[in-house]
A and B are shown apart, each in its own frame.
Chain A
Amino acid sequence: MSDLLAVLFDGVVYSSWLFLMAAGLTLIYGVMKILNIAHGSLYALGAYTAATIGGAWLAAGHPPIGSYAMLALAAVLVGVVMGPLLERGLLKWMYGRDEVVLLLVTYAAFLILEDAIKLVWGVESKLLPEPYALPGNFQIGELDFPVYNLILIAVAIVTGVVLAWALHRTRQGKLLLAVIHDREISAALGINVSRVYLVTFSVGAALAALGGALAAPAIAVSPGIGVEVIVLSFAVVVVGGLGSLGGAALGALLVGVVRSLAVRYWPEAELFTIYFVMALVLIARPRGLFSAPEARRI
Chain B
Amino acid sequence: MKRLLRWFSIALAGALAATGAMAQQPVKIGIVTFLSGPAAGPFGVPARNGFELVAEMLNAGRVPAPYATKGLGGSAIELVVIDEAGGPQKQVAELRNLAQRVDYVIGYISSGDCLAVAPVAEELRRITVLFDCGTPRIFEDASYKYVFRTGPHGTMDNTSLALYVLERHPKVRSFAGINQNYAWGQDSWADFDAAMKALKPGIEVKTSQMTKLFAGQFSAEISTLLSSKADVIHSSFWGGDLEGLILQGAPRGLFKKHVVALSAGEPAVNRLGAKIPDGTIIGARGPFGPFAPDNEFNRWFKTSFQERYAVPPNYASYKAANALLGLKSAFEKAQKAGAASPTDDQIVAAFENITFEGVGGTVRMSLGKGHQATMDNAIGTAKTVGGQLQMVNVKRYPADKVNPPEGTKSEAWIKSGFKK
Task: Report which A residues bind B (CB closer than 8 A).
Answer: 3, 6-7, 10-11, 13-14, 17, 115, 118, 122-125, 127, 129, 132-133, 137, 142-146, 149, 215, 218-225, 227-228, 259-260, 263-264, 267-268, 270-271
On chain A, the residues within 8 Å of B240 by CB distance are 125, 219-222, 224-225
Task: Please determine whether B220 and A7 come into contact, CB atoms closer than 8 angstroms.
Answer: yes
- Say whether B221 faces chain A, with CB atoms less than 8 Å apart: yes
Task: Please determine whether B251 and A127 come into contact, CB atoms closer than 8 angstroms.
Answer: no
Q: How far is the CB of B309 from chain A (nearest CB, A)?
A: 11
Partner of B220, one of A123, A127, A259, A271: A259
Q: How far is the CB of B298 from chain A (nearest CB, A)?
A: 24
- Say whether B420 faces chain A, with CB atoms less than 8 Å apart: no
Q: How far is the CB of B284 from chain A (nearest CB, A)?
A: 19
Task: Report which B residues bind A (CB closer than 8 A).
Answer: 35-38, 40-42, 44-45, 181, 207-212, 214-217, 219-221, 223-224, 226-227, 239-244, 247-248, 250-253, 271-272, 275
Task: Please determine whether A220 and B243 come into contact, CB atoms closer than 8 angstroms.
Answer: yes
Task: Please determine whether A268 and B226 come into contact, CB atoms closer than 8 angstroms.
Answer: no
CB-CB nearest in chain B for A271: B212
Given contacts A129-B247, A218-B217, A224-B37, contact A267 B208 (CB under 8 A): yes
Partner of B243, one of A7, A125, A264: A125
Partner of B227, one of A6, A132, A145, A219: A6
Partner of A123, one of B44, B212, B247, B275: B44
On chain A, the residues within 8 Å of B40 by CB distance are 123, 223
Task: Please determine whether A133 and B214 come into contact, CB atoms closer than 8 angstroms.
Answer: no
Identify whether the interface residues of A are mostly helix, strand, loop, or mixed: helix
Task: Please determine whether A123 and B45 come into contact, CB atoms closer than 8 angstroms.
Answer: yes
- A and B contact pairs by CB, cutoff 8 A, 22 listed: A10-B219, A10-B223, A14-B220, A122-B41, A123-B36, A123-B45, A125-B271, A132-B248, A132-B251, A144-B251, A145-B252, A219-B217, A219-B240, A219-B248, A220-B239, A220-B240, A220-B244, A221-B240, A228-B215, A260-B220, A264-B224, A270-B210
5 other A-B residue contacts (CB within 8 Å) besides A123-B44, A143-B223, A264-B223: A127-B271, A219-B243, A221-B240, A264-B224, A267-B209
A-B pairs, top 6 by smallest CB distance, nearest first, are A220-B243, A123-B40, A220-B240, A222-B240, A10-B220, A263-B220
Question: How far is A219 from B244 in the complex, measured between Cα atoms in Å?
Answer: 5
Q: How far is the CB of A227 from chain B (nearest CB, A)?
A: 8
On chain B, the residues within 8 Å of A13 by CB distance are 219
Partner of A263, one of B37, B41, B224: B224
On chain A, the residues within 8 Å of B216 by CB distance are 215, 219-220, 225, 228
Partner of A268, one of B210, B220, B244: B210
Q: How far is the CB of A15 from chain B (nearest CB, A)?
A: 11
On chain B, the residues within 8 Å of A124 by CB distance are 41, 45, 271
Task: Please determine whether B248 and A144 come into contact, CB atoms closer than 8 angstroms.
Answer: no
On chain A, the residues within 8 Å of B42 by CB distance are 125
Partner of B207, one of A14, A123, A267: A267
CB-CB nearest in chain A for B213: A228
Question: How far is A181 from B212 in the complex, measured between Cα atoms in Å?
Answer: 38
Q: How far is the CB of B173 from chain A (nearest CB, A)?
A: 19
Q: How far is the CB of B311 from chain A (nearest CB, A)?
A: 9
On chain A, the residues within 8 Å of B36 by CB distance are 115, 118, 123, 223
On chain A, the residues within 8 Å of B241 by CB distance are 220
Task: Please determine whether B212 and A219 come into contact, CB atoms closer than 8 angstroms.
Answer: no
Task: Please determine whether B252 and A137 come into contact, CB atoms closer than 8 angstroms.
Answer: yes
Question: How far is A259 from B219 in the complex, measured between Cα atoms in Å?
Answer: 11
Question: How far is A270 from B251 in the complex, measured between Cα atoms in Å?
Answer: 25
Task: Please determine whether A17 and B212 come into contact, CB atoms closer than 8 angstroms.
Answer: no
On chain B, the residues within 8 Å of A142 by CB distance are 226-227
Partner of B219, one of A14, A127, A137, A228: A14
Q: How far is the CB of B205 from chain A (nearest CB, A)?
A: 12
Task: Please determine whether B210 and A267 come into contact, CB atoms closer than 8 angstroms.
Answer: yes
Given contacts A125-B240, A223-B36, contact A144 B253 (CB under 8 A): yes
CB-CB nearest in chain A for B268: A220
Question: How far is A124 from B35 in the complex, measured between Cα atoms in Å?
Answer: 11
Question: How far is A215 from B216 in the complex, measured between Cα atoms in Å?
Answer: 9
Task: Please determine whether B247 and A132 come into contact, CB atoms closer than 8 angstroms.
Answer: yes
